[in-house]
Chains A and B, each alone.
Chain A
Amino acid sequence: MRWLALRTVTVVGCIAALAVVSKLLSANLDTYVFLVVIQCGVAMTLAGSLNLINGITGQFSIGHAGFYAVGAYVGAAWTVLWQPIAVRYLPLLHLGTPLGDTLTLLIAIVVGAAAAAVAGVVVGLPSLRLRGDYLAIVTLGFGEVIRVVILNIDAVGGARGLTGIPTLVGSGDLAFFWVFGLVVAVVALSRNLMRTTRGLTWLAVREDEIAADAMGVDTTRVKVTAFVVGSAFAGVAGVLYAHYFTSISPDVFGMDMSIIITTMVVLGGTGSVSGSLLAAIVLTALPEFLRFMQDYRMVIFSTMLVVVMLTRPQGMFGHGEISFATFRRLLGRRRAGGAKP
């Protein structure tokens, strides 16, 4: 019972803190900066969810934009195409009222997550037979196939993209609340995975799949679960993206996007949640600050990627995490160094 109480307090506390922070930020930040903050949130979710697959389970998926696209398109298709039909039978869903908006968004999230999860199963199945770089190429291929399929579905706009999605998350504090709520969810899930017995099986698959198999870990299940959970989160990120920016097109979810998400995870250190999130922030915000470098920033990015791979193959943080303990250790070391005679 105590466990349940603790959980409830944590969840309610998180929601309250998010609500307060979102009110504060949306009231005080410049519109443009706020937009970048939301983009950072979406990128953080994507990086965190890919880290579940690449970092924690050790599979190598580089087609994450595909799941992001499935979530965005299915979620948007629900609000644009199917919701007006549903509203006839369920007046509760009527847009414009807070209840209707929230319910519609929740359904969009569920639908988007489910569709992305199904795509995750489809992509996860090859991972049972393939390892390493072959798996990477297949996931990249799947991402591309998803994009080409979307391009050819006329109902969602094809190459023109889907526009006129009702903005259910608004453009202010509500958007921040939803997007960063999702980030918190990814972080909480990753943290719990790293500390529980169930998560241990995921880490075991990363460290040595054959040994894990020999120890009785159901590696098939672990891998498919990782793909399903990771892609579901990417799908929800897609839903929120679609309902924040109100228009989506297949170009957004191309191979570049996949590679940028992978870069976030790899730069931050595969397996390090805080590292991936930090890299997501840096890689999303940096291009905005480097606007004046327009043509050169991608060159700098790619060079940075190569140099980091050559100099720190384990990523900036490796498997380590940034936490209060890190700062304490850093401070402690300095103090100890100073106290030395």
Chain B
Amino acid sequence: MQQIAQQLIYGIQLGSLYALIALGYTMVYGVLRLINFAHGDVYMVGAFVGFYACTRWLPFKDLAAHPEAAGANIALAVVALLLAMAICSAMGVLIERFAYRPLRNGLQKADAHFWGLVLGFPITGLFMPVFSGWGPLVAVAVGMGVGFAMRPLVAWLARRVKLSESRLNALITAIGVSLLLENGGLLVFGANPNFIPNILPEHTYTLPGGVMVGSSQLTILGVSVFLMLALRYIVMYTRPGKAMRAISHDIEAAKLMGIDTDRVIAFTFALGGALAGAGGAMVAALTHVKITPLFGLLPGLKAFVAAVLGGAGSLPGAMVGGLLMGSAESFVAGSSLSMFRDAIAFCVLIIILLVRPAGLMGRHVPEKV
């Protein structure tokens, strides 16, 4: 009994993280009908921002040496969290602007510039050793130069681009962006796993029945619930939220009603990115997991499963789905089948899609010819 309750608490902690990521998936799916594969990697970026904020950027003090710094560290941790949210929402907007918007509206000149630039950077990196004495500034300048030279290539490729209605193209683009973030992350952050030392005071509370709850678990749960409530407020009671709901109902009609759909879609990505960034930063700072550039992949996929389980496009569904997924995983991990903990998500997905494709709380949209 105590074992079960303990697993349940761990499951809720895991589940609230999955729910945070799943909300980003489900919002984007609701608005664009697109599975934003790169979302898990935004979560990874959030974890790295948290890591750098905690170890380099912000003046955290080691608790073992300075026990009196606990209060200051907590204040700094809030700053780190906000930083991760800001950077990740910028990241989400960037991905939307340069990868998904050209897919909807056609490739513009600015997109050709951007992708030329991205193509230019690996080439610059290759010549990095040549400029080693000059510092990264020269490399960046050369990268921009090479990128500018690459731009006509991209523009030439795009000379007769036919807009495609296929959602599969969107999916492949999303997979490409995800791969780009992962491999770019490997270059920028390195492949070695990173840990954050103990910087926040930790208490363990014993509930009646001998169940242990850590303060980090309570923090994760509390911050997640707060963010979800804030999101619900934004979506239900503000103008951009109303526009989001209008777009998810019917994007064409929303356009006709004068909603600037591109802006609202960018706003959706910003919201999703902020939630994923908060999740990543909390995981990095509170659970002492290994942070690697590939670490967003599995949580991302599991959160996606959570979003589908709850019903893609439904916000409460994503929360419920996240909690269910987290509990399911934690029970499997605690049972004798623990080696299958990464497979359970996909089994759940396959079953839910076969039995109730619209998810627990999604509405079923009949296909029209």
Interface string of A279-315 (1 = CB under 8 A from B): 0000000000000110111111111111111111110
Question: Which of A137, A142, A313 is B304 in contact with, Cβ under 8 Å?
Answer: A137
A1 to chain B, nearest CB (A): 45
Distance between B59 CB and nearest chain A CB, rounded to angstroms? 32
Whether B340 contacts A148 by the Cβ 8 Å rule is: yes
Asked whether B179 lies within 8 Å of A307 as measured between CB atoms, the reply is no
B115's nearest neighbour on chain A, judged by CB, is A307
Pairwise interchain contact B167-A305, C-beta atoms closer than 8 A? no
Minimum CB–CB distance from B306 to chain A (whole Å) comes to 13
Chain A positions 222-262 with a Cβ under 8 Å from a chain B Cβ: 255, 259, 262
Q: How far is the CA of A60 from the CA of B301 in the complex (A)?
A: 18
Q: Give A333 Cβ to nearest chain B Cβ, in Å.
A: 17
A185 within 8 A of B: no
Residues of A in contact, count (CB < 8 Å): 48
B243 nearest CB across to chain A (Å): 24
Look across to chain B and name the residue whose beta carbon is closest to the beta carbon of A141. Answer: B346
> Is chain A's binding surface mostly helix, strand, loop or mixed?
helix
Please, how many angstroms separate the alpha-carbon atoms of A310 and B367 in the complex? 28
Instruction: Select which of A129, A144, A298 is within 8 A of B346 by beta carbon.
Output: A144
A142 touches B350 (CB 8 A): yes
Contact B115 A306 (CB under 8 A): yes
Tell yes or no: B325 within 8 A of A by CB: no
Within 8 A of A (CB), among B154-211: 154, 157-158, 161-164, 166-169, 171-173, 175-177, 179-180, 182-184, 186-187
* B253 part of interface (Cβ distance < 8 Å): no
B161 contacts which of A134, A262, A313 (Cβ < 8 Å)? Answer: A313
Report the separation of the CA atoms of residues A310 and B103 in the bound assembly, to the nearest whole angstrom.
6
Separation in Å of the A136 CB from the closest CB of chain B?
6
Do B168 and A136 touch across chains, with their CB atoms under 8 A apart?
yes
B107 interface hit (Cβ, 8 Å): yes
Q: Render A105-132 as a binary contact track against B, CB cut-off 8 A, 1 for contact.
A: 0000000000000000000001001101
Q: Say yes or no for A86: interface residue by CB 8 A criterion.
A: no
B162 engages A136 (CB within 8 Å): no
The answer for the CA separation of A313 and B106 in the assembled complex, in Å, is: 11
Contacts of B176 in A (CB 8 A): 302-303, 305-306, 309
Inter-chain contacts of B115 with A (CB < 8 A): 303, 306-307, 310
Residue A273, interface by CB 8 Å = no
Given known A-B contacts A152-B339, A311-B161, A314-B164, A301 and B346 have beta carbons under 8 A apart: no
29 A-B contacts (beta carbon < 8 Å) = A126-B350, A126-B353, A126-B354, A130-B353, A133-B171, A137-B35, A137-B304, A137-B308, A138-B353, A145-B343, A148-B339, A255-B297, A263-B172, A293-B126, A296-B126, A297-B122, A298-B183, A302-B183, A303-B119, A305-B173, A306-B173, A307-B115, A307-B157, A310-B115, A310-B161, A313-B161, A313-B164, A314-B162, A314-B164
B residues near A, CB below 8 A? 35, 99, 102-103, 107, 111, 115, 118-119, 121-123, 125-126, 154, 157-158, 161-164, 166-169, 171-173, 175-177, 179-180, 182-184, 186-187, 297, 301, 304-305, 308, 339-340, 342-343, 345-347, 349-350, 353-354, 357, 367, 369
A residues neighboring B (CB under 8 Å): 60, 62, 126, 129-130, 132-134, 136-138, 140-142, 144-145, 148-149, 151-152, 210, 255, 259, 262-263, 266, 292-293, 295-314
